[in-house]
Chains A and B, each alone.
Chain A
Amino acid sequence: MTAFVIRRIFQAALVLLATAVIVFIGVYAIGDPLEILLPGDATMAEREAVAQSLGLDKPLPVQFFTFLGNAVQGDFGRSFVYNRPAVDVILERLPATLELAFTALMISLILGIPLGLWAGTKPQSGVDETIMTGSILGFSMPNFWQGMMLIMVFSVALGWLPSTGRGETGTVLGMRTSFATWDGVAHLILPATNLALGQLALVIRLTRTGVQETMPLDFVKFARARGLSETRILLVHVMKNILIPIVTVIGVEFGSLIAFAVVTETIFAWPGVGKLIIDSIGALDRPIVVAYILVIVAMFIVINLIVDVLYSLLDPRVRARAA
């Protein structure tokens, strides 16, 4: 087991290094940050001074190895735009994104599982058709369009919910969060719903398929024979079996929710990391882009590692293969 984890950590380090090389060279190839950072009337002397202070006057390999040397010691460089450590800027905005992704995940589970169960137990009925058609819309309508529609309907036309920013936040256990105030929660509803729609459709489909595959199995028949109520069979026995694939998929998808909340954050002016990365790519703020991607890659590696470790704990066959 220990050997398995150690090997995985070693692999993770290699993945991070490879990512660093690819991203650094990629970002380096895009353009010249000085073109974006400097105002239109900057003189050449100023230009050179800035290039020097940001280390942009050095050749690519030198820049890369300086970066790598510092990164190993936990220093991912300073943002060109904000002149603050890149990791600080990212971590400062991560809670807003986590909050958004977590709320979206909750919405998709709380709505998705019951809807999926409902559709699954009544295949080919009107309920099933309606829910499944709805989930197709969730999948196929572009995320940004859904976002604009939510704003048009609930903010502009009905005026029920705010459409921009994070609203009033309060502090709970030392963390700044929107859950602390009603205003914060109101600001969270639309963006979280927008982010949840795709996920919701996925949960509905997974649950429905799971239910349809499980219902004809023998243990369900035995449960019926034992005289258990249909509700108990569905919510306890069937549920236990179908949750495994849902949890697996959702675990991985949660990473995507965080990494790709970009569109939602841009539309709703949500001050999270997604908006930061878009702004940073536009401004060619290389340290932020590189640090962000490394943070996200690290996050995926950790999630996968946890999933793998859990598997090997749960399933002796995996453990045997790993050893």
Chain B
Amino acid sequence: MLHMKSVLLAGLLATTALPALAADLTIGRSNEPSSIDPQFSRTGNNQMTGDMIFGRLAEFDQNLQMKPNLAESWTNIDPLTWEIKLREGVTFHDGSPLTVEDVIYSIERTDEVPNSPAPFTDMVSNVASLEKVDDTTLRITTNTPAPSFMESIGRVFIISKAATEGKSSDDFADAATGAAIGTGPYRYVAWTPGETMELEAYDGFWGEMPEFKDVQIRFISNDAARVAALLSGSVDLIDGVPPADVPRLEADDNYTVISTPSGRVIYLGLSMRGDTAPGVTDTAGNLLSENPFRDPRVRKAISLMIDRQLIVDRILGGSGIPAGQIAAPGLGGHAEDVTPDAPDVEQAKALLAEAGYPEGFGITVSSSNDRFPGDGDLAQAIGQMLARGGLTVTGVEALPYNVYSKAATAGDYGAFVFSLGASTPTSATLLQSLLHSYDKEAGKGAFNRVRYSNPEFDAALAEAMEEFDPEKQRAMLEDVTRMVFADTPVVPLYWQKAHWAAKTGLTIDGGLSEDTLPQAVSSAK
């Protein structure tokens, strides 16, 4: 009888399939990569995933600042020649050593990934030739002098030539092909799209070993569901905590909220594109025959009408930092003394009168409603603040981002809310794509949707971008920022804050990059 019982018990145990060995760390992540091939797409989601498994020549830390990584050091021999010294003793996850050939192969493959929706092409477009000097030294010549060359080439993910030659981006997802081996802290185990990714710490990692060995990342795009997953204990840490849930989680002793400023700036664009601005009317409702936003006094007046602190406190629950420029604190080129305009309705009205609009004018404020927390409410708040400042707000419209972005780029809006994220160590690229005169041929001003144009600023920015001395370059970028924001090219509103929440006892090293990397998670001290 006893025997019978134990057989039954054994049978019962066998049918109750044991759950897979519980991961040491389970992360609930809001976004998902589209491929495991790190060179397939340059979106933040994919780069974040790449940073777990693969290494790059340079490391961009949580505050986007560049540090040596697979490249131990680099020197600029002459304006067109760079010599890169590889770190010794670095191995791929199959145990094979990292060689100069792998680096050359990776750089050459970068712009040849078929059908990439967001290629890394620009990172390598300046490369003229690649040359192996010795087993650990690589010499690269560029087409044009590029002080920020390492910021570009350093961003290329290094993959193993032997493991990936002849393989497609798709092959990376199948661990059995062995293509997805890198030099990063984690080894790729498996990925089920829309569901989970499994990683395992690589024992032969050259750097500091991550604290957690087996990591599972769950992709939970819905905000409420992600928070619920943390509360129910099915994940240990989540990213993208909605601002509304932050106070509640902070008040609960079982959870810790980690908040950092993000590099993403939210701004109000005032279109100077046409001789008239869409939605800008006289007080009777007829389209104004001139474009008032071309007058810097009008732009300044609008900036003065907006109470940024109030927006941050009331709409974002404190999850923002009022901004007076584009580059967030911590980025190179952020000028401390360029502060956000304090609300001053009297001065705003005086400026409007001076510009020839004593009665104000009619304006429509446009915004997305699903791009970042509170964007729809933000447009309404701005509408009210502009009305208080003496303008006639004829409409506030908020649309889904996939519809809105196209129309904003096409110039359909007069006053519109938009955001810009940072991914480089300095403000140079931000300033160039947002505020440089729109120049399709030169590829500058790609996101200059307002078509601001200031030749003096263009020249000063170009000069700063050609400066090889990083210290000097940062000082020059600060000067450029002071110069251009005196002219209110766009109205900066605030920098977002990023929030993570974890079970008490865990913490994550987060920053401007907003990355959620398992190697950045540790037990709180």
- Same complex: yes
Tell me the A residues contacting B by CB distance below 8 Å. 30-32, 35-47, 49-50, 53-54, 78, 80-84, 89, 92-93, 148, 151-152, 155-156, 159, 162-166, 168, 170, 180-183, 266-269, 271-272, 275-276, 279, 281-284
Q: What are 16 A-B interface contacts by the 8 Å CB criterion?
A: A32-B406, A38-B118, A39-B423, A41-B429, A44-B440, A49-B119, A49-B121, A50-B119, A81-B34, A82-B35, A82-B193, A89-B193, A148-B224, A155-B228, A266-B222, A281-B402
Q: How far is the CA of A37 from the CA of B118 in the complex (A)?
A: 6
Q: Does B60 contact A (CB under 8 A)?
A: no
Q: Knowing A31-B402, A53-B116, A156-B231 are in contact, say whether A183-B43 is a contact too (CB < 8 A).
A: no
Q: Knowing A36-B402, A168-B20, A282-B402 are in contact, say whether A163-B232 is a contact too (CB < 8 A).
A: yes
- Set B16, B170, B409: member contacting A182, Cβ < 8 A: B16
Contact indicator A269/B218 (Cβ below 8 Å): yes
Tell me how far the C-beta of A267 lies from the nearest C-beta in chain B, rounded to whole angstroms. 5
Contact indicator B118/A50 (Cβ below 8 Å): yes
Interface size on B, residues (CB 8 A): 65
Which A residue sits closest to B409, measured CB to CB?
A35
* Interface members, chain B 24-64 (any A CB < 8 Å): 28, 34-35, 40-44
10 extra interface residue pairs, beta carbon distance < 8 Å, beyond A39-B423, A83-B170, A155-B228: A31-B403, A35-B402, A35-B406, A39-B44, A41-B424, A83-B117, A148-B224, A151-B225, A155-B232, A275-B221
A residues within 8 A CB of B16?
Answer: 182
Q: Knowing A164-B235, A284-B402 are in contact, say whether A148-B409 is a contact too (CB < 8 A).
A: no
- Set B118, B225, B429: member contacting A267, Cβ < 8 A: B225
Tell me how far the C-beta of A181 lies from the nearest C-beta in chain B, rounded to whole angstroms. 4
A residues within 8 A CB of B17?
Answer: 168, 170, 180-183
Tell me how far the C-beta of B403 lies from the nearest C-beta in chain A, rounded to whole angstroms. 5
Contact indicator A183/B19 (Cβ below 8 Å): yes
Q: How far is the CA of A266 from the CA of B430 in the complex (A)?
A: 34
Which B residue sits closest to A166, measured CB to CB?
B195
Contact indicator B35/A269 (Cβ below 8 Å): no
Contact indicator B117/A269 (Cβ below 8 Å): no
B residues within 8 A CB of A164?
Answer: 28, 218, 220, 225-226, 228-229, 234-235
Q: How far is the CA of A165 from the CA of B226 in the complex (A)?
A: 11
Contact indicator A78/B122 (Cβ below 8 Å): no
Tell me how far the C-beta of A306 lies from the nearest C-beta in chain B, rounded to whole angstroms. 30
* Interface members, chain B 281-337 (any A CB < 8 Å): none
Q: Knowing A40-B420, A281-B402 are in contact, say whether A165-B195 is a contact too (CB < 8 A).
A: yes
Q: Does B380 contact A (CB under 8 A)?
A: no
Contact indicator A162/B232 (Cβ below 8 Å): yes
Q: Does B405 contact A (CB under 8 A)?
A: yes
Contact indicator B117/A50 (Cβ below 8 Å): yes
Contact indicator A93/B194 (Cβ below 8 Å): yes
Which A residue sits closest to B434, measured CB to CB?
A40
Q: How far is the CA of A164 from the CA of B221 in the complex (A)?
A: 11
Q: How far is the CA of A241 from the CA of B430 in the complex (A)?
A: 71
B residues within 8 A CB of A165?
Answer: 195-196, 218, 220, 234
Q: Knowing A32-B406, A36-B402 are in contact, say whether A266-B225 is a contact too (CB < 8 A).
A: yes
Q: How far is the CA of A155 from the CA of B169 in the complex (A)?
A: 38
* Interface members, chain B 383-420 (any A CB < 8 Å): 400-407, 409, 420
A residues within 8 A CB of B119?
Answer: 46, 49-50
* Interface members, chain B 234-286 (any A CB < 8 Å): 234-235
Which A residue sits closest to B232, measured CB to CB?
A155
Q: Does B446 contact A (CB under 8 A)?
A: yes
- Set A82, A269, A272: member contacting B225, Cβ < 8 A: A269
Contact indicator A40/B421 (Cβ below 8 Å): yes
Q: Knowing A81-B117, A155-B234, A181-B17 are in contact, say whether A42-B34 is a contact too (CB < 8 A).
A: no
Q: Knowing A155-B234, A266-B221, A266-B222 are in contact, say whether A163-B229 is a contact too (CB < 8 A).
A: yes
